Structure 1
């Protein structure tokens, strides 16, 4: 945590501590009022404390030994969506989900005896509150007690931590996705090595072996001079065709790894090549609407966008059962927007098989976009195809003039 983070944490703790102190003063005022103590100066101080508690940003609820509510400040009204007049006199359990009520009652009873609580703001597990309309929500709580001679009063300070819980959950999911993506990348890398090794052995290896055999045959024929020259020339032509086929195989294997034109000619020609290759392989037309011809992309952005288009087309081939794909790239105000749409079968919901968080291709696209400060969104419905939109800040993807 940085210096500013520590300062904010200390400020939050001091603020909570001050509110707790003032809340204690207000409860003491209530206790004195209950016991009949009415000194003028004390009453003035107590009124001030209660005014501060009423304006507190923390929800403050005080209950008696029967766990009936005796103080319910305006923040608590907003937090639980319940008017003070409806809350006063009601059992605290009204604002606790039923499955937690028994444990809470035990905790308060134990706290009344020992004065020890594991509920301190920012230091305990997240609890759950129950709003008047039945909605559950996560809270942090701290508890204190005071004995005025007529019985104990318990004060609970509450804070809605819905935003923090959602952020923590999003961070947890992101970390889990990254771990899974990392593991999957290892598997993909090994699969790719296996595929390349198989192609080198089955394709290039067999072609080179055939060339070696042909060379041996030509060498023998020239040495023995038992075959006519025309037959040897014909065999040499076959060997040349085999060399051409071998060169084509080498280029195909190299292009599958990274097309040379991406580095030599730039992103847009590479995307054209990718679309043409996709159509040749799968028979699916790719309509291109590219309105970014004046943009010079940085090498990292060009690589990221090429891989995103490549993965999007791979998903279409694997899952869409489509007959047409539309690839749209445009400059929209300060963003570069890439959209890949197909007319395939789609998915019942964005979180279906093609939009699932477990789709490592989609996770990879999100990560590539995130590294450039962008985002990925999906739109789909069963029978209505699939649309993938990638939005990247123009300042992160455009190469300035004179920039290497």
Structure 2
């Protein structure tokens, strides 16, 4: 039995070395003075350095100079604890240094063990170049999509402005001229006692034209209220709130402590659309009887807060649901460097708050 123990020990050591040699991750073992005592083939490939040249060298040889002091301290601190294994770095992403001087990102973990000579530390690391490149590509793609979204919103605003003007000016003027002609015919038929039926039809036509003119004005205002361009953001929000209260019978209370001179055309349009979308969400989903709107300064920031007393929403219970309205609000806010937060719970109403750097709301043309 005693004769088989050394054989098992040798076998176990051979198996361990085979695993270390065939591992895809780089494995580096250092002693208490942070000198390399093991440098597997994967480490040779990753760092471009043969094991014969690495063994006996300080681990700092494979760390960029600007990180060496912090890394040496980190490894030493770990070596003095009883921790068995943990990731290296607060975000598990560090940087290595190849033999040719090139830096590259790595993911690494460190573990400790004891042998007859003392404590050994083993670092297992993986080249994260592809992962970082994929992350950067994803961020670029995300930013490109946001830029595309912002551009599409701008194109949409310009198209809505054009259509609203054509509805208000061209179609509105034509309907007004038609109404005048019908009114003339209606008055002319007064001289003909036998034309009572025709007068009645002319009168009905005039009323239909009046209703059509009102519809055209409403549609044009929904597309792009002339108040926003003529009188500024504050007047446009007041009109929007009054129209909302009239349409849906929901009480509205507003506190606006800013003036139009603080908003560029772009900012005024974005804030108006955020308010418009928030009110649409209230009308569709909230089942509310009252809302409050606040627009004010907080230091060097501008705050827009809209809150209702409706049924609210348990956001934790609906992880799969997405609101494109809220997504649009977030994107518009992001375009101005703002952040959106939502406060809601089932039965406790819904509040949306957008906070913007005041500097991002000014600049360019004023809103009027």
- Could you say which TM-score interval applies, normalised by the shorter chain? 0.5 to 0.7
Q: Which residue of 2 aligns with 1:299?
A: 265
Q: CA deviation at 1:57?
A: 3.9
Per-residue CA deviation, residues 299-343 of structure 1 (Å, 9 max, x unaligned), is 111110000000111111122111111000112221221100111
Matched, 1:333 2:299: yes
Q: How far off is 1:389 after superposition?
A: 0.9
For 1:300 and 1:401, locate their aligned partners in 2 and report how far apart those are by CA, in whole Å. 8
* Structure 2: 5+ residue stretches without partners: 1-27, 39-54, 88-101, 113-120
1:269 aligns with 2:235: yes
Q: Which moved more, 1:172-181 or 1:241-250?
A: 172-181
SS in 2 for 1:228: helix
| Whole-angstrom distance in 2 between the partners of 1:399 and 1:53 | 49
Deviations 1:222-266 (A, max 9, x none): 7xx986255544433322222211111111111121111111111
The answer to whether structure 1 residue 396 and structure 2 residue 360 are counterparts is: yes
The answer to whether the 8 A contact 1:58-1:157 is kept is no
Taking the aligned partners of 1:359 and 1:175, their CA distance within structure 2 comes to: 20
Shift in alpha-carbon separation, 1:312–1:75, aligned structure 2, 3 A: same
Report the Cα offset of residue 129 of structure 1. 4.5
Partner residue, 1:76? 75
- Where do 1:119-134 residues align within 5 Å? 122=104, 129=109
Residue aligned with 1:311, SS: helix
Report matched runs for 1:250-261 at 5 Å: 250-261=216-227
Q: How far apart, CA to CA, are the structure 2 residues paired with 1:277 and 1:314?
A: 12
Match of 1:86 among 82, 85, 101: 82
Cα pair 2:313 2:349 within 8 Å, conserved:
yes
Q: Is the 8 A contact 2:312 2:348 kept in 1?
A: yes
Determine the C-alpha separation between the residues in 1 that align with 2:59 and 2:127.
Answer: 19
Q: 1:311 to 1:255 in 2, by over 3 A?
A: same
**For residues 319 and 129 of structure 1, do their structure 2 counterparts lie closer, same or farther at Cα, with a shift above 3 Å needed?**
farther
Q: Matched residue of 2:35: which SS?
A: helix
Q: What corresponds to 1:361 in structure 2?
A: 325
Distance 1:342 1:268 in 2: 20
Rounded to whole Å, the distance in 1 between the matches of 2:271 and 2:61 is 56
Structure 1 length normalisation: TM-score? 0.52
Aligned-pair CA distance for 1:271: 0.9
The 1:321–1:59 alpha-carbon spacing in structure 2 relative to 1, beyond 3 Å, is farther
Where do 1:45-56 residues align within 5 Å? 49=58
Match of 1:376 in 2: 340
Greater RCO (CA < 8 Å, at least 6 residues apart): 2
CA contact (8 A) 2:294 2:304 kept: yes
| Partner residue of 2:282 out of 299, 316, 321 | 316
1:88-120 deviations in Å (ceiling 9; x for gaps): xx6xxx458xxxxxxxxxxxxxxxxxxxxxxx9
Preserved CA contact (<8 Å) 1:181 1:364: no
Check conservation: 1:288, 1:328, Cα contact below 8 A: yes
Residue in 2 that maps onto 1:248? 214
CA contact (8 A) 1:320 1:342 kept: yes
Alpha-carbon separation, structure 1, partners of 2:66 and 2:128: 14
Contact 2:310 2:348 in 1 (8 A): yes
CA RMSD of aligned residues (A): 5.3
1:58–1:158 CA contact under 8 A, matched in 2: no
Structure 1 unmatched runs, 5+: 1-19, 32-45, 61-71, 97-119, 133-152
- Structure 1 residue 282: Cα displacement: 1.7
Tell me, in whole angstroms, the C-alpha distance in 1 between the residues paired with 2:288 and 2:335: 30
- Conserved? CA contact 1:343–1:386, under 8 Å: yes
Q: Evaluate the alpha carbon distance shift between residue 321 and residue 403 of structure 1 in structure 2; reply closer, same or farther with a 3 A threshold.
A: closer
| 8 Å contact from structure 2 (residues 265, 365) kept in 1 | no
* SS of residue matched to 1:247: helix
**Could you give the per-residue CA deviations for residues 9-44 of structure 1, whole angstroms, max 9, x where no partner exists?**
xxxxxxxxxxx9x99x9535x68xxxxxxxxxxxxx
Asked if 2 retains the 8 angstrom alpha-carbon contact of 1:366 and 1:376, the reply is: yes
Separation in structure 2 between the aligned mates of residue 359 and residue 226 of structure 1, nearest angstrom = 61
Contact 2:258–2:296 at 8 Å: present in 1 too? Answer: yes
